[in-house]
Structure 1
Amino acid sequence: MSNSPTVTANAGFPSAVTHDKAVASPWVRRARTAVRKVTGKDLFPEPEHLASFAAEMFTTDAVAERFVAEVYGSLGGEQARALLDQALTDGLTSVEDPPAAMVALFDEFETVPDWVDPELVAEGEQIWRRWGTALFSVAGGETLEMYTEAAVAKPLSLAGGYAGDNALRRFLETARFWIDVSQPGALLTPGSTGRATAMRVRVMHVWVRRTVAEHPEWDRERWGEPISQSYQLLTLMGGSVVPALALWLTGVQTTPKEIRALLHYQRYLGHLLGVRTQWYPANISEALRLLAFVNMTRSYDAGADGAELIESFPAAFQVTGATGLAKLRGKYNAAMYAAYSSMYMFPWTRRKYDMPSPLPGLLLIVARLPLVAATETLRRICPPFSRWHERVMCRHRESWHAMQMAGRSADFSHGKGLRR
C-alpha cells in the first residue's frame, strides 16, 4: 500500500481540508510509516473511505430538505411545526391527507434498517445513562477543539446558538437531547420522546443549513455544505469513541466492547438524524483513523467566530447575581467546566484563547479519582450496585439539567433568522 491515497487535487475535499499538505508533510509520512509497521494498517482511512468522506462534505439530508422546502414553504413555520408535532405525538395517521414530502420523511424515519441490533442500541443508551453528567462535560469540552474550524464554527456563529450569552442556553438544549435519546428504549420505541427529539433536531439542522448556505459569508468551495453528512458523522464519533476514551482521564471506565456498542448506537441515532453516509467506521480502529485524518488536515481558519464560541463556553457557567446555594453551585460548575475545557482541548489550541484557570477544577477531579475508580470497579463486579449507580446518575443528570434551566424548556426551535 502506498503512503497516500491515489486521488489528487486535495482528494475532492473542500479547500479548507488540507489533505495534500498533510500527505506531503515529512512528519505525517513518518507517522504513517511507523503506524503501518506496528499495526499493518495506515494511520489514515482507506482511500475509498476518504473519497466517500470527501464527497459527503458536499452532501446533506435530501429527504428532510424536501420536507422543509415543501411543507414549511407552503404552510409557514408555525403551522408546519404544529403538523410535525402532531405526527410525532399521535402518529402520521393522525394527520389528515399528509403532504407527500411528510410521508416520505416519516416512512424513512420509521423504517428500522436491517443492520440495527436492538441489544447494541439498548447497551449504548445504557452507557450514556451511566455516564450521567460526565457526558455533558466531555461532549462540551471536546467540541471546543473543532471550533477552530470555520466549517464547524461559521454555522454556529451565524445562528448565534453557541455564542455569547446564548452559549449556556443552547448547550442545555443539547444536553436535553442527550438525555432524551438515551432513556431506556428511546430510539426503538415508536412515539418515544427520544425519537421525537431526534426528528425536531433533524428539522432544526435543515433550517440552519439552508439559511447559512445562503449567507454571503459561507464559502461552499472552501467548507462544503453547512452541517454536511461528513461533519455529522464526526459528531457521531464525538458521542462514542472520543468520550469513551477521554472519560478515562476522570476515572470513568468504558471497555472496548462497550465502545463498539456505542458506535452501533450512534450509527442508529445518526440514521434518525438523517445521517446517510456511504461509509461509517465499522470498528474502533477505523474510527480512530478517521479522527487522526481529520486532526492532521485541519486549517484552523475559524478566526473570531471560533474564538467567540470557545471562550463563551466556560464563561457561560459563571453565575452573576446569585446568592447562597445557587452561587455555590455556579462557582462549582464554572470551575469544573474550566477544567473540562482544559482536559479535552489540545494545550497548543487552548493557549491561543482567553480561557479561565482550570486549576481548581483539576484539583477536584484528581481528588475524587480514587472514589470514581472504586465506584467503577464495584459497578463491574456487583450488578445490583450497577443498577443503583445508573439510577443515581440518571437522577443527577435530570436534577442538574433542571437546576441549570431554571424553569425554561428546550424547544429545539427552528425557522428563525441568523443573528447577522
Structure 2
Amino acid sequence: MSVQVPPVRGVDEQPPVKCPTAFRYWAARATPEVARFERTFKKITRRELFPTDDQVIALCEDLFSGDPVAERFVEEVMHGPIGSKAGRRMLETALADGIDAIEDAPESMRVLFEEFETVPEWVVPELVEQGAAIWRRWGTMLFSFAGAETLEMYTEAAVATPLSLAGGYAGDSALRRFLETTRFWMDVSEPHALLTPGSAGRATALKVRVMHVAVRAKVAGHPEWDIDKWGLPISQTYQMLTLLGGSVTPGLGLWALGYQTTPSEIRALLHFQKYMGYLLGVRVRWYPETVIDSLRVLAMTIASRSYDAGQHGAELIESYPAAFAPRAGHRGLTRLRELYNFRINSVYSAMYMAPGTRRGYTMPPAFPWIAIPLLRFPLITVMEILRRVFPPFARVHEKVMLWHRENWYRAQMQGREAEFDASGALRR
C-alpha cells in the first residue's frame, strides 16, 4: 500500500511514495496544530522543524528495507541444510579465527564477512574512539537512560509487536534481555573495540545483526504483523532511530543529571553510532550527520506516532521497571542493591517518559526517590569539570567506570552469559 505525499520542492509531479499507514508523518503535518507549530518554530528559530521532503521520503521507504546480505546468510546457512546450531558454530569460528578457518564456507557467508570486515572510506577512527570513550565515561548511566527513553516508543506497535512476539523484553524475561543488550553496549564501547579485527565488540555486533535477521523473518511471517501498516519488522529506519537514541538523545538528555556532553562530542557520538550501525547492517539511504538534522528526524518521529501498541506496549512498558525489583529469597547487600536499582530506574522512567504517556500505565512512584539524582547532580557536575581540566583524573575516572559497569553487569547476571540467540520460537 502507498500513501500520497506532498510534492517535493521544485518537483511538479511526485509519484506516490510507499509509507506504512501507521507512520502518520504526512497526515500529522497536514493538521492545523502541527502546521501552526511548524510556522511558529520557523519564525522564532529561522530553521526548519522537520527534515526535507526528500529525506523523509527516503526514511519512509526504508521502513520497508531489511538487510539482504545478512538475510541471505541466515537463509542459506542457519535455515538451510547446515542448521542453526552448526551455523552458529561456524559463525563463532569465523569471528574468532577468520572466514578462511571455515573449510568450504558458503558463498553467502563469505560475502557477509567481506562486507563486515571492510572499513568504509568515510570512517574517521578518532571520532569512533571518541564516541566510544563517551559511552565509557557515562558508565551504567547509559544503560539506565537507554532503558528509560525506549519506553516512550513502546507505544508504537511497529516497535512493540516484534518485541512482544519474541518475548524477550516482556514479563519475567525483561531483565535478562535488557542485560544482554547492556553486554552489547559494553562490548562495542571497549577501547578500540570496533576497529580491532577479532575484538569482542565486533563479534557481538555481528551476532546481534544475525539475531535481528532471525527475529525479522519470524515476525514478518506472523499473522499479527501487518506490513502495509508498519513496514518491515526491525526496519532500516527504526534501526537508525535506535542509533540516534545512543547519541543525540543521551548527549542532550543526560545534562539533566549533570553530564556535560558538548556539541562536538555529540557529533563524535553520531559518527561512532554510524559505524556501529554499519557493522549491524544499517544501510539507510540518508543518515543525519549533524545534531540539528538528528533533532529534525526525532521531531518527524514524534509527529508520526500513532500510539497503537495497546496491550503489547503496556506489557513492555510496565515490565521494565518491575524487572529490577528485589528477587524472592535475596537478602542483605544483594537485596539492598536490587532495591536501589529498582527505585532509581523507576525515577529515570518518570524523568524520560512524557507525563501524558506515563499516566496511561501502571508505573512505580518516583517520589521520594527523585531526591537521589537531585542530590547527586552537583557531584557529577564537579566530576565532569575535573575530567575536562585534569587529564589524570579523566583516566582514573574511565577505569572506575569500566570496572563499575562490568561489576554491575556480573552482579545482575548471576553467572549467566549473554547469548544473542534468536533460534527459539516466538512465544505466540
Q: TM-score, normalised by structure 1?
A: 0.97
Which of 375, 379, 387 is residue 379 of structure 1 equivalent to? Answer: 387
Tell me which residue corresponds to 2:33: 27
Measured against aligned partners, the alpha-carbon deviations of 1:142-198 in whole angstroms (never above 9, x if no partner) come to 000000000000000000000000000000000000000000111000000000000
Please, which moves more after superposition, 32-41 or 398-407?
32-41
Contact 1:240 1:262 in 2 (8 A): yes
CA pair 301-199 structure 1, distance change in 2 beyond 3 A: same
Which of 65, 77, 85 is residue 84 of structure 2 equivalent to? Answer: 77
Q: In 2, distance between residues paired with 1:378 and 1:5?
A: 53
Alignment of 1:193-204 (within 5 A): 193-204=200-211
Please, which moves more after superposition, 118-127 or 34-43?
34-43
Q: Does 1:57 align with 2:63?
A: yes
Measured against aligned partners, the alpha-carbon deviations of 1:44-101 in whole angstroms (never above 9, x if no partner) come to 1011100100000000000000000011122011000000000001111111111000
- Aligned residue-pair number: 420
SS in 2 for 1:75: coil
Which of 21, 40, 49 is residue 15 of structure 1 equivalent to? Answer: 21
Contact 2:17 2:61 in 1 (8 A): no
Q: In 2, distance between residues paired with 1:251 and 1:4?
A: 45
Measure how far apart 1:37 and its partner are. 2.4
CA pair 163-30 structure 1, distance change in 2 beyond 3 A: same
Alignment of 1:1-400 (within 5 A): 12-72=18-78, 73-319=80-326, 320-400=328-408
Contact 2:9 2:53 in 1 (8 A): no
Measure how far apart 1:19 and its partner are. 2.0
Measure how far apart 1:126 and its partner are. 0.4
Q: In 1, distance between residues paired with 2:246 and 2:59?
A: 18
Which of 404, 411, 414 is residue 419 of structure 2 equivalent to? Answer: 411
Tell me which residue corresponds to 2:3: none
Contact 1:5 1:47 in 2 (8 A): no
CA pair 20-4 structure 1, distance change in 2 beyond 3 A: farther
Contact 2:8 2:53 in 1 (8 A): no
CA pair 218-76 structure 1, distance change in 2 beyond 3 A: same
CA RMSD of aligned residues (A): 1.7
Q: Which amino acid aligns with 2:356?
A: W
Measure how far apart 1:274 and its partner are. 0.2
Q: Which amino acid aligns with 2:366?
A: P
Measured against aligned partners, the alpha-carbon deviations of 1:346-393 in whole angstroms (never above 9, x if no partner) come to 010011000000123311110111111111111111111011111111
Q: In 2, distance between residues paired with 1:154 and 1:10?
A: 27
Contact 2:8 2:14 in 1 (8 A): no
Could you list the runs of 5+ residues in structure 2 that have no partner in the other structure?
A: 1-6
Q: Which amino acid aligns with 1:116?
A: V
**Where does structure 1 differ by over 6 angstroms across 4 or more consecutive aligned residues?**
1-10
Q: In 2, distance between residues paired with 1:145 and 1:219?
A: 21
Could you list the runs of 5+ residues in structure 1 that have no partner in the other structure?
A: none
CA pair 233-323 structure 1, distance change in 2 beyond 3 A: same
Contact 2:156 2:307 in 1 (8 A): yes
Please, which moves more after superposition, 49-58 or 39-48?
39-48
Measure how far apart 1:21 and its partner are. 2.4
Contact 1:337 1:361 in 2 (8 A): no
Q: In 2, distance between residues paired with 1:397 and 1:100?
A: 39
SS in 2 for 1:359: coil
